[in-house]
Chain A
Amino acid sequence: MRKINLWAWFWIFLGALYFFGPLYGALDFSLREKRGTLSLIAYQNVLKDPNFRNSFTYSTLIALATIVVGLLLIVSTAYWVHLRLPQARPIVDFITLLPFVVPAIVLVDGFIQIYSGPPFALTNTPQGTNVLLMFGYIVTAMPYMYRSIDAGLRAIDVRTLTEAGQSLGAGWITILFRVILPNIRTALLSGAFLTFAIVIGEYTFASLLARPAFGPYMVLLGQDRAYEPAALSIMSFALTWAAMMIIQLLGRGAPGQGQVAVAH
């Protein structure tokens, strides 16, 4: 038994080394802008940079839009499938898995092909491109959002709750917003934070659609500064960490947590 324990500790140690090594490297590096001492100058430079603030604000707004529109679309669909259209489940499930088959770089290629000319010339205006970017992010986040919400709906009795609401005289809007949504708020919030974690530093869509988002800003900064990128890396890590902690706290005891987002 002792031998097994030692081996187990060995692998845990190796995993911890791999996990914390680059984090330690980035942290240490980010503090060395001033020769000879440790300082927070790199962080101050980043926070002072108006481009940082602008791109971060832009990405936050796009993330919020993605969350609101995406949740509306996916919650209403998942709710309707649970309640009235169980026969549509296989095809909806299948569609929500498609983003795994079509990598972001491929999808953006198709976006430009379709939306850079008539009849839907979205890329001709910044607003149009913002909308396109948002829909790209909804596609990227959809598998995770749908799974989270589907699990949430599975855990409650959608049909009984809806019928109870109806027999008390509630309309569809009241039922959805005051009965169903409060009952799956954990799933909603998990989906929202996961989407935020995906969108905030996303590079592929933003850069190829030429939008001033946080991801392209980081790459640009990485090309002409040495210490600031490390500071950004640590800040991004803190954001990811916070989002994951919130999801885990929310998901304690509720089904459908432990999600992974993949947007590299």
Chain B
Amino acid sequence: MDFIYMAEATPADSQRKPLVRSFLPTNLLVWLGVLPFFLFAILFILMPSSSLVVGSFQDTQGHFTFKNIVDLFTPSILNSYLLSIQISLVTAIVGALFGFMLAYAAVLGGLPRWVRTAVMTLCGVAANFAGVPLAFAFVATLGRTGIFTASLRDAFHFDIYQHGFNLYSFGGLALTYLYFQFPLMVLIIAPSLDGLRREWREASENLGSSTWQYWRYIALPILLPSLLGTMILLFGNAFGAYATAYALTGGFLDLITIEVGNQISGNVLYNPNLGLALALGMIVVMSVSIGLYSWLQRRTARWLR
């Protein structure tokens, strides 16, 4: 293992040599090759993002103020953040659990090989089938006149809408988000499950451990960082979602993405700088979760060589 690693490291080392010379002026020319990319990144990622930071601390006349940041802590805005965080947490946890069971069944469940191929393919499609068309599919299935709703009503005189179900609510939106959440979990966690070596299970069984003990003391501790890391990815995935929520609820569910959208298109009492502060708050939430993600990734990387 170590030998292979060293053999691979040699060409990379020879490529790394310019590091020393890179501070000499002649090598500045080499950096010109990536200039377009950095220009692009500055113009279309860094400048727009920093304009949010600057604008959040300005009033409409351009004077410095903390008012927009203070206004973020009014109950209605806090509720929007809270609702977005709630739906992201719920769909991340449920999606991760369901996705894990599905991936486990497909990878280690002892099923025929084609099942695994089919599951991975379908998950690839489902994880990419999101936004407006996904909302339409759920309306056609579980909406007030949807196929499932109507057939239950016709066959059993049972109206799910009179028994607490509503697609255009928190629960319905969560159900819709899960359609792209659990397949993403399957796609990301399957390689980690492949990394669970058969020898570990055999070794633990030889030492007389039960299935429960194998999971509690061996498999779960190894998988935990990548499980949590993937959950955070799912969290961010749901937290930034706008199109699906807008198409499903028509902008009436008070998510933070919907709020930002309303501020931009001027559907509410218009204060552009408050809109920027709302967006800045989202970046803060995302940065915290991505920071957690990369920390967990580093902890789990060494097990998956």
Chain A residues within CB distance 8 Å of chain B: 1, 4-5, 7-12, 14-16, 18-19, 21-26, 28-30, 73-74, 76-77, 80-81, 84-88, 92, 95, 97-114, 135-136, 138-139, 159, 197-198, 201-204, 207-208, 215, 218-219, 222-223, 226, 229-230, 232-233, 236-237, 240-241, 243-245, 248, 258, 260-264
Closest to B241 in A: A264
A233 to B34, Cβ gap below 8 A?
no
Say how far B8's CB is from chain A's closest CB, in angstroms. Answer: 11
SS class, residues of chain B in contact with chain A: helix
B247 touches A104 (CB 8 A): no
Chain B residue contacts of A22, Cβ below 8 A: 134, 137-138, 140-142, 179
Residues on A with beta carbons closer than 8 Å to the beta carbon of B119: 12, 15
The answer to whether B133 touches A92, judged by C-beta atoms less than 8 angstroms apart, is no
CB neighbours of A85 from chain B (8 A): 18, 30-31, 33-34
CA distance A113 to B44 in the complex (A): 12
Select the stretch in B64-72, B109-117, B221-229 that faces chain A. Answer: B109-117
On chain B, the residues within 8 Å of A11 by CB distance are 101-102, 104-105, 109
B246 touches A77 (CB 8 A): no
Q: Is the CB of A109 within 8 A of B242?
A: no
Chain B interface residues toward A at CB < 8 A: 11-12, 15-16, 18-19, 22, 30-31, 33-34, 36-38, 40-41, 43-45, 47-49, 51-52, 55, 98, 101-102, 104-106, 109-111, 115, 119-122, 124-142, 145-148, 178-180, 182-184, 186-187, 236-237, 239-244, 246-247, 250, 257, 260-261, 263-265, 272, 275-276, 279, 282-283, 286-287, 290
Flag if B283 contacts A12 (CB, 8 Å).
no
Q: Is the CB of A109 within 8 A of B264?
A: yes
**A229's closest neighbor in chain B, by CB?**
B136
CA A26 to CA B178, docked complex, whole Å: 17
Nearest residue, chain A, Cβ from B132: A218
Shortest Cβ distance from residue B223 to the other chain A in the assembled complex, whole angstroms: 17
Judge whether A30 and B140 touch: CB under 8 Å: yes
Contacts A244-B121, A260-B184: A8 and B283 contacting too (C-beta < 8 A)?
no
The residues of A that contact B287 with a CB separation of less than 8 Å are 101
Total contacts A-B at CB 8 Å: 293
Contact of B240 among A4, A103, A219 (CB under 8 A): A103
Q: Which residue of the partner chain, among A113, A208, A248, contacts B261 with CB atoms under 8 Å? A: A208
Residues of B contacting A114 in the complex (Cβ-Cβ under 8 angstroms): 47-48, 51
> Which residue from A28, A203, A264 sits with its C-beta under 8 Å from B147?
A28
Known: A229-B140, A248-B121. A113 touches B133 (CB 8 A): no
23 contacts between A and B (CB under 8 A): A9-B111, A16-B122, A22-B137, A29-B147, A76-B33, A84-B33, A86-B18, A92-B37, A97-B290, A102-B283, A105-B264, A113-B51, A203-B242, A215-B132, A222-B247, A233-B133, A233-B136, A240-B129, A260-B187, A261-B127, A262-B184, A264-B130, A264-B242
Q: Which residues of A contact B31 (CB under 8 A)?
A: 85, 88
Assembled-state Cα–Cα distance A9/B36 (Å): 51
Chain B residues whose CB sits within 8 angstroms of the CB of A76 once the complex forms: 33, 36-37
Complex: A218 Cα to B184 Cα, angstroms: 25
Q: Which residues of A contact B106 (CB under 8 A)?
A: 8, 12
